[in-house]
Chains A and B, each alone.
Chain A
Amino acid sequence: MFPASVPTRLLAALGLVVSVTACSSTPATTSDAFSVWDPYPQFTAESEWAKTIDKCGTEAGVKIQRQAYDTTDLTSKVLLAAQQGTAPHVLVLDNPVVSTLAEAGVLKPNQDVGLDASQVSPNLAAAGVVNGQTYGTPIGANTLALYYNKAVLAAAGVDPASIKDWDSLTAALAKVKASGKKGITFSAIGTEEGTFQFLPWFWGAGASLTDLPSGKAALELWKSWLDNGYAPNSVVGNTQTTSWQEFATGEYAFTENGTWQLGNAKKAGFEYGVIPIPGRTGGTAPAPTGGEFVTVPAQSDKDAETKAGRVATCLTAPDKVLASDTALTYISAVPSVQQQQVSAQPELAVWVEAVKNAKGRTGDDLGTKYPKISQPLWGAVQAALTGAKTPEAALRDAQASAK
């Protein structure tokens, strides 16, 4: 692709010079630093989380270099780094990805590195179980429920306790709309967030991720809310953050949102409450578990793996994890710590209950197949909500492309 007249040898020599200088000027310190990657860029070096990491490093006798990445491209970065043999020593990553990385041989099973997830609730640890081995341990968990605005519901004459199933919820939305306020907002964006938000309804309809068309009723429910003006059209582009911001205007009766919004809820300036997401015909719909796992990627150096195991154990130890979970507004994955959280903040009780009922996205033996199903699913949700396809056709097409 270069002109033939170029003296190739000279070119090669020059290329060599460039790469040699590149190598020689590499700071030598990066190689012996112990790296921890996490998806919490919102936490600065002064944050409690960063301090906890440093503390755990000191306890394990290593100097830690923490790097915070955006959660969406963390997987790709880890894979590229692992390909070059420079995976981080400790990796904190979103739970549905754990099984994929474990199967790829990027992660070490807990027993090899002395990590112990036995204190964690089984429904939360499940996302890290691949072929009978457990990989990593959850730092905490979050899930979804319905936040409601007390004043808006009172003005519309709706008693939140009356919401038991989809019909009563839809009836409540109708009353709210009649009273001049807006019904419900959620996130149906074309990313994993969209699937995450749709799952409680999907599962609440009794559907299974191995058979997407079985969730037709859930998609029809969402679509009917948009058609009747109970939910704004902006849900199609909403992230969970932007849908929260809509709720925070005080105009909306409900938002489907997560544990992590509790801090913001207190700042919203109105009285709010939380109810679990109802199932289609009653009961509580299983909501998906969110939250990250602390894992130990494979290294060529066994000693480094062991040290990484110690750091990971320290990061998820009950005494340390309380502070981290408080900072993240997560529910702890360890039942004893959950009780501590509830006694300190009684309003967390409903969330602890929700986390107990929550279901891992990679459960049902889906494991590494989950990402292949999740993407067509959010596509189907978008196609149906925008009217591009009927809910039934959208789910059918999604099922076809998931194979």
Chain B
Amino acid sequence: MRSRLAGWAFLLPLVAYLAVCYAYPLFTNVDLSIRGYTVRSFVHGGAPLVGFDNYVTVFSDPTFRTALVNTVLFTLISLFCQYTIGLAAALFFARGFRLSATLRALFLVPWLLPLIVSASTWAWLLNSESGLVNAVLKGVGLDPVNWLTSPDWSLVAVTIANIWIGIPFNLVVLYSGLQNIPREVYEASALDGASGWQTFWHVTFPLLRPVSAITLLLGLVYTLKVFDIIWIMTKGGPSGSSTTLATWAYELGFGNMLPRFGPSAAVGNVLILIAVVAGLLYIRTQRRQELA
């Protein structure tokens, strides 16, 4: 009993913080999404409750489909590549070698850059006219690609930049996960005569599963929310070809002369809902693992 009280005492600051800093914005957003705001009623109050009207508006907008498909593609491809590359790098660095600590630290540099900077740098590298990437393509005899200004390539371009930015996060978490695997396990596996590849598939990877799951889940949550990179590189364009739900929500609420707070809030809530479903799936699989 005493320990339960103590448990709550330790939790209390966090719970209070969550109530003040998360519950209120969330409440505001839900409220925004179920009212029919005009600019006037936004300022002076008295916006009528309209139920799901804003959601209907959003769902029936042709942009919704594009944004949803783009969000799914952007998120899944980013996650897969970030995780694979991050894990490969973590495995590579897990064996200490000369300079390994320094190089690993340097690998994290992309993470240090403010997103506004990395996004601008990528935008400059991928610029159609004076970007380095197209200069190199021309150099090896390929046609230049309109990375940021062609509807076929803009999503690819922002995904590449996002993968690059996400690798350090995956490396850090997976690396510490690898460090927590007891050395004896590897030694036992080596004694059994397992090859490096076998050890990885049958020992390392399963033992890393909890860390992998949390990495992927956090990665999913962050990728769904990604806004700065896309907004700075393409503004979601050209003509909506790299719009995701996050950039669309921003565009509706802020990127426009006439803010449409209601539909913007509705898109934001759809985004949260998707993330919540992913979270529930995670918890279910985790619980099943605990039971197993």
Contacts and interface: CB of A to CB of B under 8 A. Distances in A.
A–B touching in complex (CB under 8 Å): yes
A10 B253 CA distance: 36
Interface string A80-91: 001100000000
Nearest to A71: B257
B49 to A, nearest CB: 18
Interface string A338-381: 00000000000000000000000000000010111011000100
A100 B127 contact: no
Contacts of B149: 233-237, 386
B287 interface: no
Contacts of B255: 72-73, 191
A141 interface: no
A14 B238 contact: no
Best-surrounded residue of B8, B238, B256 (most CB of chain A within 10 A):
B238
Nearest to B152: A386
Interface residues of B, number: 37
A372 B19 contact: no
Interface in A97-125: 97, 100-101, 103-106
A390 interface: no
Contact of B237 (A15, A97, A106, A237): A237
A237 B237 CA distance: 8
Given A10-B12, A15-B20, A190-B235, A103 B39 contact: yes
Nearest to B250: A73
A357 B270 CA distance: 47
A23 interface: no
Contacts of A10: 12
Contacts of B18: 2
Nearest to A96: B257
B43 interface: yes
Contacts of B39: 79, 100-101, 103-104, 368
A234 B146 CA distance: 8
A104 B43 contact: yes
A28 interface: no
A381 to B, nearest CB: 8
A83 B42 contact: yes
A277 B236 CA distance: 30
Given A189-B235, A383-B239, A104 B42 contact: yes
B110 interface: no
19 contacts: A2-B18, A15-B19, A76-B253, A76-B254, A82-B43, A96-B257, A97-B258, A100-B257, A100-B258, A191-B235, A233-B146, A236-B149, A236-B238, A237-B235, A237-B238, A371-B256, A382-B240, A386-B239, A386-B241
A19 B23 CA distance: 14
